[in-house]
Chain A
Amino acid sequence: MSEARLHTPLGGAGFKGYVSFTEVAPTGMIALRGDLANATVAEAVEAATGQGMPAARRIEGGLDGGAAWASPDELLLFVPQAEAAERTAALAEALATQHALVADVSDMRAAFTLKGAHLRDMLAKLTPADLSPETLPSGEFRRTHLGQIAAAFWFEAEETAHLICFRSVADYAFDLLKEASEPGGEVGYFSI
């Protein structure tokens, strides 16, 4: 399969404002529903992502290998894109004997990486989530909405965050993030 046949929703578009962001390269993502307290599930997750079972609302690892808590019985796993199909199959195989759902959802979402000192201020323009560092520390996987769409994001570090949304609304998300990041729009609330 040649790379030219892969089209992410935004073709890797980006914007540089007081916060800069770009759509990331195709990323492998796997949806897993099952009993998160089950040891076999935890082992399978570790085998697929190299990461341990995340606590509620947390993500272990990141885009190149990560496990994010999505609900009491759901995880979103991140794996290298080229290995997504293989690891989905392996995960399904590992969980074949128990009640679980495994699906390759690599193509379902658009993903962005955002960087900047005023990142929290920028996101607070678009989401009702509490962006204070105490409530939303690094590694907190926040499912919420961005403007009028569903989205999830997490801080990898204080000035770096990743955000995912459904691919059909990637343009809308891009435009929202762009206007919120326009120079002159710094709020100086979370970061002065």
Chain B
Amino acid sequence: MPVILATDLIIFFLVGAILYFVIASRKEGTLKSVRRELGKNRLAFACMVFLAFYVSVALLDSVRYRDAVIGDDGASAISEDGGVIYSPEALSLLDRMLSGMRTRTEKTYSAPFATHSYAKESMEGPDGGIVRDYPPLKYPGKHWLGTDRVGNDVLFTALKGIRTGVVIGAGTTIVIIPFAIFFGVVAGFYGGFIDDAVQYVYTTLSSIPGVLLIVAFMLLFGSSGYQGGLVSEGHIIWRAFVLNDRLFWLCVILGITSWTDLCRLIRGETLKLRELEYVQASRAFGIGRLSIIYRHIVPNVMHLVLITFVLQFSGLVLAEAILSYIGIGVGPEMGSWGNMINTARLELSREPVVWWNLLAAFAAMFALVLPANIFGDAVRDALDPRLRYR
């Protein structure tokens, strides 16, 4: 039985947008020249491979379903009212593909590729006495990035964190962009009362301490939400759909608190563009305002959108870590780099140091944020006709 989370929709939307671009760019036009430009840029292509890997992992991790509970007789368990009973555990395709990695748990910490545990334990020696030594692992050499405090494979946790990272980055952007572009362009272009109203809204929003607003919002909406792990029937609002997903609310509130910066930039740019002569020339043709906005204003503020998105992306992933720390981020059962960094604080202060958890989170984040930055720049350049045909 499938389970669809609100955040899964974000991933599906992202994948859909990528597919749309690929299909639409086959036709002659602006998209095709953008694709041609991107194809010429080798560095961008390499980054695209990284990003494609991340998006596919996120997609695999977003398709999930619940298995039927198998009774002692080998057949599916049937409830009293005759329905099939499903396990509360909704495993994603990724979980199922990596079930080996997921189920090979140790007792506690072990270093990458280790054969023995990282801490000494009292064990029964060969001569029957009690000795203190490093106990052998159940799966020696199988944990490429070691295991964490409760013995879970760190590589698996890092891979599970990909979906969270991509959702936070993409989901928040999906919230930010329409708000910022719409309000920014409208305020800058129409001016007057509309401008005052928009400025009033974003000045008010940005004068409220962000963390406070996020905490309030998350406590209001997110506290009872799905946070990874088991799905309770109460979470499912309609057939298989779960709206009350903590990560989803996190995207919404991060979006609400961070669209103002971009909006301000776009408003300023629009104020400048509106007075430019090509806009005046269009007005001299009697072209409608919406059409001017669509043809002349929005394409010329897109570079701001891309730059802001790229710069905010890493900040958003980190914001998730900070919020997890104060207990309102994603739940501990949902793998996330934020959670990994959060637990690494204590691990770094113990002796001997447990370093691989932090390293794994850092490397996984780095391999997403850096290509996203470079790719974002490449997209911005490809969108700018001034930089084409060089």
* Physical interaction between A and B: no
B residues sitting closer than 8 Å to A (CB atoms) are: none
Interface residues of chain A, those whose CB is within 8 Å of chain B, are: none
